[in-house]
Amino acid sequence: MFDFEATKSVADITRVQAAARPDGIAISFKDRTTTFARLDIIANQIAHALINLGVKPDDRVAVYGANSDHYLALFFGCVKARATLVGVNARLAPPEVAYVLDDSQAKVFLVGSHFYEVAAAALDHATNKPLTLALDGGHASWTSYQDWHEAASSEDPRLPCLPDDDVIQLYTSGTTGLPKGVQITNQNYMSFFEFGIGAEWAKYEAGEAVLIAMPMFHVAGINSAILCIAQGAKAVVLEQVDPVEILRLIAVEKIAHAFVVPAVINILIQVNAKIPTDFSALKRMYYGASPIAEDLLLQAQATFGCSFTQLYGMTESLGAGTYLPPEAHDPARGKLRSCGIAWPGFEIECRREDGSACAVGEVGEIAMRSTTIMKGYFNRPEATAATVKDGWLYTGDAGFFDDEGYLYIHDRVKDMIVTGGENVYPAEVENAVFGHPAVADVAVVGVPDEKWGEAVKAIIVLKPGETAEPSDIIAWTRARIAGYKVPKSVDFISELPRNPSGKILRRELREPYWVGHSRRVA
């Protein structure tokens, strides 16, 4: 359980749980287990090790790697040092990693073994050259993370952890093509705990096993892990999404709670048909990042035999916003296309262009207000002001409420594509494609995809006399941006539709691909 009386900040989490259940298992990762007492000691060592390097409050510490027990220890160690953990998307290409290092001005850079080569290339690109540590050891020139933190004091530094301290910075893609660092504070997380546990969807029992399969550089992954540790439950951490391993762990670890995206649910159902799994311990499955198809949800309910909760939010809202509770997943309720009702502590409206609230059933931009809303985009006051106005976060999603207060996503005000739970902005992809010598013009849109919800499609105008194959464009782009952003298909047309001011009419480009689909977003 979460001890609200003793846990006054994120830094208190390991202290409180270590005192309450020192020998309980906090993290299970591969063949390693970490008790709550040991996790608290490691967090102390990391905090002192950072302070010894000259890391000061509000300094950034970047981590680039897959999920691991080390990732969580680093989070809690940074908080105790009043430093800010920067989660670097493990799927980024070297220039993109370099951008994050420069933008965040990270003082320390910790890299997992699978990413040593990419990280070295990123450091070559970056202007900022942080001290780099080898998270898994074994690097010729980078100090081992293990040796580094174990040489430090295990005493708790007991630095004051203030409500406005940034505890984590997660990067979200921007419409300009440049990622923005979302600043999440202590107060944001304390509100998140209060509201999520108060709504009961996030309420875990001490000792229960919780699957942490989603990447911790995403808000859903890190939130799942922190919620778990904060309530004395066991975080069963997967290095990466592996359907066979997920099903094995559900049975062996007696997983009670799991968060996955709909694309993963679909794969799990298919694998389970060949390798039947014991789901008897599974109480609830949470899903988000994109809605779930009704047929898939019905299959999932029949397969897993547990309750389901959908979650809708943004990185900028700490992943919070609405939830579709288990009882609303009954097809007879007619709510399966909804993303649910507002969390406690949240005001949510659909707004017209003039800022006024829409009537029931009227489509408008979804705006939300809560104490979980980010402090801002790091060093980007103009971008912050354009997204958060008078305390209201404008999501860029268009939706409407029914007469029972259930929210439905209708379309996007912005052009973001959500593919397999990853956010992709067209400008990022277009910037990469434009450099191809045969390309005169390009627009990128999201098109329906049964597996991923949406897939990235590039629609290209070639230069006069030039020719290119889709495979050429895809290969060119893959060398420049993360794989999940690369177009899965390419179409060639003679001219892109634009309005009188020259803006590409993406809706016109998307429309033919979405004919026959009930919604225009995945």
Cβ burial 255-275 (10 Å sphere, 16+ → b, else e): bbbbbbbbbbbbbbbebbeee
380 vs 96: CA distance, rounded Å: 18
Report pLDDT digits (tens) over 452-505: 889 999 999 998 899 999 999 999 999 988 999 999 999 999 988 876 556 688
pLDDT at residue 502, rounded to an integer: 60
Closest by CA position to 342, among listed 316, 375, 364, 366: 366
β-strand partners of 34: 27
> Are the CB atoms for 261 and 290 separated by under 8 Å?
yes
What does the pLDDT read at residue 391?
A: 96
**Positions in the chain whose pLDDT score sits under 50:** 175, 522
Burial (CB count <10 Å: 0-12, 13-18, 19+), residue 110: buried
Which pLDDT does position 395 carry in this prediction?
Answer: 93
Please tell me the predicted confidence (pLDDT) of residue 291.
Answer: 58
**CATH number given to 418-514:** 3.30.300.30
CATH number of 12-309: 3.40.50.12780
- The confidence score (pLDDT) of residue 104 equals 98
Structure tokens at 498: 């634009």
pLDDT digits (tens, 9 = 90+) for 246-255: 999 999 999 9
Query: Which pLDDT belongs to residue 429?
Result: 87
Q: Which amino acid is at 348?
A: I
Share of the chain above pLDDT 90, in %: 77
Angle at 37 between CA 31 and CA 43, to 5 degrees: 85
Q: How is the chain split into domains, by residue range? A: 12-309, 418-514
Domains 12-309 and 418-514 alike in fold = no
